[in-house]
Structure 1
Amino acid sequence: MRWNLKTKPEKQKVQALQNALQVDEIIAALLVQRGIETFEQAKSFFRPTLQDIHDPYLMKDMDKAVNRIEKAISNNENILVFGDYDVDGTTAVSLVSSYLKTFYSNVATYIPDRYLEGYGVSFKGIDFAEDNGFSLIIALDCGIKSIDHVVYAKEKNIDFIICDHHRPGDNLPEAIAVLDPKRNDCIYPYDELCGCGVGFKLIQALGQNRNQTVEDLVPYLDLVATAIAADIVPMTGENRVLAKFGLEVINSNPRPGIKALVQNIKKKVLTITDVVFIVAPRINAAGRIKHGDYAVQLLTEFNLEQAESFAKEIEENNTERRGLDKQITKEALLQIEENEEESRFTTVVYDENWHKGVIGIVASRLTETYYRPTLVFTKSGEKLAASARSVQDFDVYNALEACSEHLEQFGGHMYAAGMTLKEENYTTFKNAFEKVVQETIPPDLLIPEISIDAEINFSDINPKLVRILKEFEPFGPQNMHPVFMTKNVIDTGYAKTLGSEGEHLKLFVKQNDSEGIGAIGFGQGKHLPLVQNKNPFQMAYVLDENEWNNQVSLQLNVRAIKENNG
């Protein structure tokens, strides 16, 4: 692992901010590293308000979208709210449909079947709309590349409004409105919204027609925060505001569906990390194992007892998903070992029997293990489908685009994408993908990196520092949990491994004459020999809290350990 200690920010800027905020140097330096250099910027960072949320009409085509929806309501048309089967898609569908139903009843939802229809807008979904008298489809978290689908719908006198956040192709679908902040001709001030975030902008605009303010829409932010967390979009700007207020809703008065998912968690306050690892996988499990409709049912149910029943079923789906994930990862690792070529820059594996619902998770596991751009393929009808995952700073979407002649379709982001291809093109594509990555990836990106914000001593850690760092939340891309490094650390003799295979490491550490601090290193069990016998070592970690029996104590969450070098 590469240890990358960030360059210290400009001393004058740090001192100026330190004086303005009356905080210590560590906090001021962390803020400057995040581009926060003035009192006003710091105030906006620490005390975001709903007034920081932008005018939805700054988004290209928003007026057209609102006018078409209002026309549908006036004409008593049937509206179909359509979205993908992942967390971003199902939360977006739940948000827009439940909002519309507060004042209009002719609204239904449609989530495509992962196995029969695949990702995004489907011809089957459009046929469903025609058969059931829908004249307007609002597509959420998908549709930006659905040019043929929109033409097909138009032939059936069905209009489309597309709300997406994925990168557009060269041409846009000829929909009534295409809401996507990543459009080149869109001047919206923030282009990193998730799909549910774009859906929120739509209901914000519709709300303005009904004399509603953004404050009136706060109850919907539990869904938006969940999508932001799950979709790993940057935790900056508007996303951070929406996530912060959404977390407050999750912790104070969430919708029954989310309440049912979190009510057994023994924590006073849930963080974005809890949403990522507890709420999101369960919502995802519905679409992975059964059908995304189950997630929408859960998230739009307002009877707690019924929501608990849905949540119980989804918990069973999640248990099944975990078993499949473990088994397929094991099979994929075996396949890589048997066919490994030393020079490979990519991991590409395929088995026609692998469950399509978990190949994305398996791709993530393989990326963690081998640390290179990874594709996991399985059979999907007559074609092969794959999930792609990338390593830090390498754009896998661009790599796929460079060999898209071999693909039927593809879409996604820098770090995660999906694609389909004809089975006979698998080997050709696999070789083309390897060639593109080999020619474009800097070699150091194939070595995992831990990015360290600052080197500190244990004596620098105090309650005030911990309290202010909590105010940096919610954490996420571009506002990550600060990682510190400390040298000359020793374990006081309590080091031991935890977990069924000894994969985790439990420590009680000191530096010089500092007080001892408890530490936990998930996946760090292999370092036990390095820290035993009071050998000094250096450690990269984040300041965390351990909640046990209603007692909260400081704990270091260890991210990496290596030999001490003075």
Structure 2
Amino acid sequence: MVHNWIYKVQPEEEEIRKLSTEINVNPILSSLLIQRNLKSFEDARKYFRPSLEMLHDPFLMKDMEKAVERIKTAIKRNEKILVYGDYDVDGTTAVAVFYDFLKSFYEHVDFYIPDRYTEGYGVSRAGIEWAAENGFQLIVSLDCGIKAVDKVALAKSKGIDFIVCDHHRPGEILPNAHAILDPKRADCQYPFKELSGCGVGFKLLQAICIEEDINVNKLYEYLDLLAISIASDIVPIVGENRVLAHFGLIKLNKKPMAGVQALIEIAGLSDNLDISSIVFSIGPRINAAGRIGHAKASVELLISKNEDDTLSYAKKIDDQNSRRRGYDTDITEEAIRMIENGEHGESLKSTVLFKNDWHKGVIGIVASRCMEKYYRPTIILTESNKKATGSARSVLGFDIYEAISECSDLLDQYGGHRYAAGLTLELENVAAFQKKFQEVVARNIKEEQLIPTIEIDQKIGFSQINYRFYNILKQMNPFGPENMRPVFATHNVYAVNRPKIMKEQHLKFMVAEENSENQIEAIGFGFAEYFDLINSGMRFKIAYTIEENNFMSNRYLQLYLKDIKFD
């Protein structure tokens, strides 16, 4: 696939020189920091040396005092508290953290995760009925609830108060809850708007610790779960999220919770776990329980303290993840055939596919796969409970939530973010929705947004790549949205040796720069198609990240290719 290379705007030379002097790094590294809006010694200090003391006062969040007081009242009255969360990684980690921490000092608490297939996303009528039947007087919803206007009203009619902890965008009408914690509320002045759902629940617990004089270090024992939520929900890893992810990864690598340790072992993960380890190995396993079975199993794993139990739960979840992969592969192949056979047109600027027997648990993954292959906003729909339900994924720069909002007259409900959303509609509305959504996208999307983009941080020469440079790059971790791993470009390079083809798909070769003696190994995953051009001696330019290869105690720097452009 052809990629557009966009070179980031370079800072002014005087600005670079000033920061380089202040923090004693070379101009390239100073430029990388300034591009991330880190322009002073103090900015760099906070970035490279994060501290938990940097976390914001939780009482800056709208309704925080009301939420804390209601929980205190519930505890004083011995009321039953239900912790209610979504079935994805963010929701299940949020429930695990909130329930387990509250349970450590209050007995009358339980948790509830809706069934993906019978109840669907968010707060459900079945969940409210269950809470009423079992005598709960307070529900704390996590990673959901901001649009549950009718469900919160139903709870209120049954004498149940609601505290909503959410991070999704509110609708025009807020639920009539006792307290609504959501940094994205228009009237919320909380300084950081991009917390995960687990993060919002964490802030409520932090406020309870302050109010009740509980040692906050007890809450920090859950930072590994918070890091998992941040990575898996793909929220920006800047500001407060970066602090939480930094310390969460330390916890994950040194002393994770028993359930997380069991997942690490069963996944065969090594040391030095990072955001990618969560995104590609830990997160999908936690998600698999809710995709294939019931997400309650994920919470049970995450809060389990017994080694035998954790291994049993982890094995079950790992088996479900294997089944999930099979469904994912089969449905993705079928979806691609539908597009390529012309039923839904490769020429369109969006994809909306519906098939009534697709497995609901993997349609979000299938949407991501199709979006990556055809690079256009994508919605995959299936039938569930006599309705169409779907997952949406978007390309860089296009707000799919807003596009879905323009079709709200055809929907029962929807919610989500700029790049990922969920929706439900009547089966008879599917064709009309497909037509309208495609019209909305065609009208609003820019042509350049339909071509995948590689952002180049800096153009450099191989002579600038050494361990001192790499060791500072490594300290820019954790990488993720809005703090991505730096991408470099080097022009006029050539292969020194015949490329080695690995597993019929990948290439490994030594690359050198014209008029320079510096050579470095490069590896390109999925680059086998370029073998002849590379081997021909032709000059080309490469976009890449710098990684360390550590094989059998032999450490060396290596370029991970992201793209090649031939002269």
TM-score (norm 1): 0.97
Q: Identity of paired residues, percent?
A: 51
* One-letter amino acid of the structure 2 residue matched with residue 428 of structure 1: A
Q: Measure, in 2, the Cα distance between the counterparts of 1:265 and 1:441.
A: 42
Per-residue CA shift, 1:362-418, capped at 9, x if unaligned? 000001110000000100111000100000010000000011111111000000000
The one-letter code of the counterpart of 2:271 is: K
**Structure 2 contact 545–559 (Cα < 8 Å) conserved:** yes
Amino acid at match of 1:474: P
Write out aligned runs for 1:140-539 (5 A).
Answer: 140-263=142-265, 265-338=268-341, 339-341=343-345, 343-499=347-503, 502-512=504-514, 513-539=516-542
- 1:29-178 to 2 correspondence within 5 Å? 29-178=31-180
Moved more, 514-523 or 453-462: 514-523
For 2:473 and 2:8, locate their aligned partners in 1 and report how far apart those are by CA, in whole Å. Answer: 18
> Is 2:183–2:192's contact at 8 Å kept on the other side of the alignment?
yes
> Structure 1: any 5+ residue segments left out of the alignment?
none
Post-superposition shift, 1:302? 1.1
* CA displacement at 1:503 relative to structure 2: 2.9
CA distance 1:448–1:358, shift in 2 (3 Å): same
Is contact 1:225-1:247 (8 Å) kept? yes
**Whole-Å separation in 2 of the counterparts to 1:451 and 1:431:** 33
Distance (Å, rounded) in 2 between the aligned partners of 1:40 and 1:213: 29
- Secondary structure in 2 matching 1:410: strand
Question: For residue 276 of structure 2, what is the amino acid of its counterpart?
Answer: T
Cα distance in 2, alignment partners of residues 476 and 8 from structure 1: 21
Q: Is the 8 A contact 2:339 2:346 kept in 1?
A: no
Q: Is residue 562 of structure 1 aligned with residue 565 of structure 2?
A: yes
For 2:214 and 2:16, the matched residues in 1 are separated by 42
Q: Would the aligned equivalents of 2:100 and 2:303 in 1 still touch at CA under 8 Å?
A: yes
Tell me, yes or no, if the aligned pair for 1:484 and 1:541 is still in contact at 8 Å: yes
> What are the superposed Cα offsets for residues 321-350 of structure 1, whole Å, 9 maximum, x if unpaired?
111111100000001111143541101111
* SS, match of residue 137 in structure 2: strand
Give the 3-state SS of the residue equivalent to 2:206 in structure 1: helix
SS in 1 for 2:212: coil
Q: How many residues align?
A: 562
Shift of 1:266: 4.9
Instruction: Tell me which residue corresponds to 1:4.
Output: 6
Structure 1: how far apart are the matches of 2:107 and 2:302? 18
CA RMSD of aligned residues (A): 1.2
Higher mean Cα deviation, 79-88 or 3-12? Answer: 3-12
Q: Deviations over 1:16-43 (max 9, x none)?
A: 0001011001100000000000000000
Deviation at 1:210, TM superposition (A): 2.9
Distance in 2 (alpha carbons) for counterparts of 1:350 and 1:529? 41
Q: Shift of the alpha carbon at 1:8?
A: 1.2
C-alpha deviation, 1:548, in angstroms: 2.5
In structure 2, the residue corresponding to 1:134 is in which secondary structure? coil
Take 2:434 and 2:269, find their aligned partners in 1: how far apart are those partners? 46
C-alpha separation in 1, matches of 2:165 and 2:229: 14
Contact 1:530 1:537 in 2 (8 A): no
Q: Any gaps of 5 or more consecutive residues in structure 2?
A: none
Would the aligned equivalents of 1:493 and 1:534 in 2 still touch at CA under 8 Å?
Answer: no
Q: Which moved more, 1:83-92 or 1:2-11?
A: 2-11
Q: Which amino acid aligns with 2:356?
A: E
Residue 344 of structure 2 contacts residue 351 of structure 2 at CA under 8 Å; is this kept in 1? no
Q: Distance in 1 between matches of 2:500 and 2:372?
A: 24
| TM-score in terms of structure 2 length | 0.97
Q: Distance in 2 between matches of 1:459 and 1:214?
A: 47
CA-CA distance at 1:514 after TM superposition: 3.7
Q: Secondary structure at the match of 2:494?
A: strand
Separation of aligned partners in 2, 1:126 and 1:342? 44
- Tell me how far apart the structure 2 counterparts of residues 471 and 445 of structure 1 sit (CA, whole Å): 32
Q: Distance in 2 between matches of 1:19 and 1:108?
A: 55
Q: Which amino acid aligns with 1:174?
A: N
1:225 is displaced (CA, Å) by: 0.4
